[in-house]
Structure formats: structure tokens, C-alpha cells
Structure 1
């Protein structure tokens, strides 16, 4: 279980151990960010100033969460509950205790990261500590809660960790599809009361909160290093849908539109609203209004949204897409640094009344080229809450 440290003011923070070799991961930093955001990170190979080395300074503090998130509904809660119960039934008492948390343990619920387990240990139980039967029962939760595309992406991101481990050497050792991923359950699975399934590890965070017909799939982090690879004769591109849609959207802008879409408040070397950024304060809106795009370009925006929202089970994803589509005229797109698919620090953003999505090409250590980080949040439904405050 996570170790908590008492700090001034009586607050508890979860502290991450120093990382000496990992695949470039960090949290938010911009040229205008606070020193704690930009100097405390810079994990090996990229992320913060200096890149290539250093420690991890991520902290996770308890926040106020309610259960009134603005969900579009159509959750498949009735299907998810029995598979969560079936997973828990495979566990002995000690393991079940390790996996299970109170729903109101908001500090644990917000402990997710893009770093590997060796840098930021996750709540719950590591897949590698489960039997094969238990692992399959845990993964059955994801195949039920997510769409085929979402569940496949999870598997492909885990396979990327196996690939990194096969490379060996600095920045690659210690990864793996079993050792880097954990599952935790918050609350009692119920069709009427709220509960959360949390699954994640290196380059992956799924936070699935159910409350009757309501569901939240955010915060959601997906990433991959490398962006493409071949393992056992199969080609993998875990973020193909997200990257293709995003880069196509920005490639199709006119020169005037591109100028209008540029974010001028700062430059970015990683995500702004990544792990640990749970105070509910999003940056001021910048960029180009989607209402200024033509019909084809607006369809490109919807394609980006679908690539993320579509990770959820079908009916809930369709309901959420309808909500975001209705808000499209109040949504903006923005970019900073670069917009090319292979350019370092290409930073792309969609910002709406509800939806917030960021995508960046960040430096790598284990592999020679850039790799992807991306986060999807819902301003009114993260963790199933409408009122997030530190």
C-alpha cells in the first residue's frame, strides 16, 4: 500500500521514490508554470528542463469530490458490477483487502501517473502478484467497461512495456505488462451506489466511476513508447487513432487558422493537466474557436473526440459524444511549439465547456525518437465529481 507522509498543516501527501532510469516521463510543465511543476519533474529522457535524468517529484493530495458529476448517462453499470464481483471473489482475504478501498478515499483515487511503478507505486494490487485466473478476472472488468478499441489499446500499451523491457539497458529495464500495472476498487460494486475501478501503470490510467446510470471515464491517460514497434511479428501502434486524428486536424488548417490557433501563453514540454493536477483549475481558454472551422474541419474535431470518448462502452460513449457535439461551438483547438507528428514537443489541445484533451510528442530515452503522452479530462465529471477542489 502507499506510504503517506504528514506535512505542515496536517495534510497527507503520497510521496514517490526517486527514479534513475525510466522512459522519459513527467507531468506538466510550461515556460510559465510554477517552479514546483517545472523543476520537480524532468524524468529521464524528457518532460522537464534538463531531461535525460533526475528524480520524480509527484505528490498526490486529498481533494474534495462529490458524486454529482455531469454524466451523459447510458452506463453499462449492470454489466460491470458482476464482473467486478467475480474478480473480487477470486481473491483471498489479504489480497481483497489490498485491492479494496473506501469510495471516499479521494487521495488514493487520485493517485495515478504516467511513470512506471518503480517511480510512482500505484494503489491496489500489481497484476504480477495475481494468479493467471485472477489476472484474467481483472482484465474481464476492462473488456466489459471499455469498448473493443479501448480494451485493445490497454493491451497494446502493456505490450509496449514488454517491448521496452526487451531492449535492456538504461531507461528500459524493469518494465513489463504484469509488473507495471495495478488494479484497485473503490467502494462496493453496486447498480445504485457509486464505485470506482482504477487500472493503470506506465503510460496508462483508467479511472472508471459508476453511479447508477452515470459513468465517468476521466481522468484518462494514454501514452506509448515507442509510437510504433513490432513484437513477435505483429506491428503495434497503441495511439494510432488519437495521433492520426489530431495531426490530421491541425495539418488541415489554413495559414490564418493556424496562426489563430496558436497558444501564446507559454511553451510546453509535457501535459498541463496530467497526474496530480486535481485542483479543478484549468488554464484560460486559448486558440481557435471550432465555430470558425468549416464543416469538414469540424468533423475532424469530432474524430479526435471520438478517438478518446470511444474507449468507453458503446452506449455511454455515444451519449458522451452527443453531449460534446452539442458543445462544439463553445470549444476551441490550440497548439504550441510544433504540430508535426514526428517533431519534438508538438503540443495539441482541445478545450470545451466539458472536454479537455492534450496530446504531446515528448522526448524518449529508451528509444531514439519522440513518444506520445495524452490526457483526457471532463471538467464537470472527473472522478464522477462536479466539484473538484484542493
Structure 2
């Protein structure tokens, strides 16, 4: 079965909203007066971006480049598969790239992200290939079946399915027309890659939106959506983790919860009912009031664990830019809150949130497919620097 050939490959590979949003949009549309000189890391990022652009045809290059002032494209990201509510991604599809172009694109992602960040991206793409093979949910042709035009089969490190593999999926018309699979992940640029002007790299698809704004020596991933489904799969009596970052983060949050005293836990646990994602797509500029237990009410050892939890999430960013980000977060750790919604007896099935002056993290399990720990919608935002707004205002 199709499921078997994909799993075999896995085994082998073992704030009031409106006004704030308007201010952000206005700031982003402005031309930066002074952009700090690029450092060695962003020089690599710019070179890798230009190397990727050089592989594209004229039509592909036209499709992938958007003006820096294009606020619509800047915010054009979603947790839904293509064709889902509000999911109308633009740019160039992974399925429209040849093997050489894909390799150069992954190299570009490897300059923006850490090795674990690249592994996360590949894992999410692989997970979506598994959804495509086992539960396409297709309506009319092209809603999860073979590519409608051009493109190749799913390739997050996977082989082409064997000839005659069953198509699977639900009866036509039983679900809105959506497109699952790694070939429906898109790359785009808002602005032109440059060492002296701001620009943004976007890469995403179902359960993934990497929005990396580059300004001189600095890179931010705010806002970015991660997660995935399925996180783990069982095959031939063994369990394989497709998206390795998620279990690490879940265990780190649960470990911190277990260190809390009864009084601390009474503040941190807001409810035993799981909450859902709050600051997902379409919620730019929305304010979340801090809830839970602040770092100032933690012991030194607990604050160390708290910072480790934050680093586990933000560690998808390259080491150079992560260090700068973690320095700011560490300085504000006393004013940063940890909160929990959901069961407190195990890791992964509860929603947790980190809310600080320069960081908001949401870990949001979804229960609509059975095991909440196997379907995640997670967000990272910096309320002071959405889409790099803090670096792109007129000085």
C-alpha cells in the first residue's frame, strides 16, 4: 500500500489588534534609513538566496519575487493545506522545482535555520506526504492527487511511489478541495535579497510557515508557525518520529511543570481543559496579556529550565541570530510567564504558552484526529518585531 512505501522510507532513513497591525504595516512600508552592515551569517544567507534565484527560469523568478511593500504577500501564510480556509499561497511550488533547484533551496534554508530547523522542515514535509498517501480527502482532480501541472512526486527525502500504488483518499466531494503533500510547499521572497536593504524569505505549506526577515546583520523568524501531523508513526512494531522538535519541546515544558511547587503550579496551570491556538494566521497585532507563573517567581534552577524550553523552540533559527535573541529573552526572563492549559499527567497533550516582552510561544495540540500530541499547531512571535518592523522603521 502507499502507506507502506512511505513508512518504509521513514524506517530506512531512521496591543489592541487593528491599530497595532496598522502601525506595523506602515512601518514595514517605510524605507529603512540605516541598515546595519551584514555580518558573516547574513552574508551567507544573501549569497545562498541569490544562488537559488540564479537557478530559476524567468517565469519562476517572476513568480517568486514580490515587492517589499507587498503587505498582502507578507501576511500570506497559513496552517491549512493549499485550498483550505485562507490558504492561497503564492510563489514557486516545491513540486515545480527540479532536484538541483531543491538542493539549492535547502541550502538557503540551512543558512537561515539551524540543522534542527532544516530537519524540522523536512519532517513536516514528510508528514504531509504521509497524509497525502493515507487520507487525501480529495474532491475534484488535483485536490490531493497527482500534480495538476508539471511538478514531481513528494520529495522530503522520499522515493517516487511504485507503479500501481493505490491512490487512497476519500470519495470525491466528501471534503473541500485541498492539496496535501510536500510538492505543495511554496517559496517566495518579499523584497530582493540584499545586504543593504530589508527583505524576507517565506517557505511554507500545511502546518508550516517560515517567515524570515533579513535586515543587515539580523534575522528574525517572527511570526513563524510550526507543528505538524503526524509527529510520530508506528510501522512494523516500531515508532518513528517524523518531526523531532515537537517531542523535545513537549518534554521540556512538562519537565518544567513537574519542578513547580503546589503554589507555583496553582499559578501556572490556568485550566485542565486544553486551549487552542490564539495567535495563528490572521492575528497579527493581537495582544495577549501575560498569564501564569512569571520567571521572577521561579527558582534559579527553574529559570534555567524555562530558558532551555524557550531555546528548544527558537533553536530552529541559526546559531548566530539565536544567540542575539536569547540574550534579550534572558534579560527579560523575570517578566516572562509560563502557563499551562490541559491535563498535567503527561507531556504533549496540553497547551502551553510563554509570554514575555519580546517572545510569545504557543504549543497547541489538536484533538480532531485522535491523539492530540500527534497533531500540533504552534506559533512563535516577537510582539516588538513582527516581520522585522523594529528594524525597518525610519530612524
Tell me which interval the TM-score lies in, with the shorter structure as reference length.
0.7 to 0.9
Q: Is the 8 A contact 1:70 1:385 kept in 2?
A: no
Give the 3-state SS of the residue equivalent to 1:142 in structure 2. helix
Superposed CA RMSD: 3.1
**Are residue 64 (structure 1) and residue 71 (structure 2) matched?**
no
Q: Is the 8 A contact 2:254 2:347 kept in 1?
A: no
Shift of the 196–80 alpha-carbon distance from structure 1 to 2, 3 Å rule, reads: same
Shift of the 341–104 alpha-carbon distance from structure 1 to 2, 3 Å rule, reads: farther
Mapping of 1:74-223 within 5 angstroms? 76-119=41-84, 120-168=87-135, 170=137, 173=169, 174-179=179-184, 181-223=185-227
The residue that corresponds to 1:362 in the other structure is 366
1-structure distance, mates of 2:355, 2:372 = 28
* Aligned residue pair count: 324
Unmatched runs of 5 consecutive residues or more in structure 1: 1-33, 35-61
TM-score under structure 2 normalisation? 0.74
The residue that corresponds to 2:153 in the other structure is none
Choose the corresponding residue for 1:244, options 221, 241, 251: 251
Shift of the 196–337 alpha-carbon distance from structure 1 to 2, 3 Å rule, reads: same
TM-aligned CA deviation for residue 154 of structure 1: 0.6
1-structure distance, mates of 2:269, 2:376 = 20
The residue that corresponds to 2:292 in the other structure is 287
Choose the corresponding residue for 1:301, options 306, 324, 337: 306
**Are residue 338 (structure 1) and residue 343 (structure 2) matched?**
yes
Cα deviation, 1:327-368, whole Å, max 9, x if unaligned, reads 101111112233454675x22111111010011221133x65
TM-score under structure 1 normalisation? 0.75
Q: Is the 8 A contact 1:147 1:312 kept in 2?
A: yes
Q: Is the 8 A contact 1:75 1:214 kept in 2?
A: no
TM-aligned CA deviation for residue 162 of structure 1: 1.4
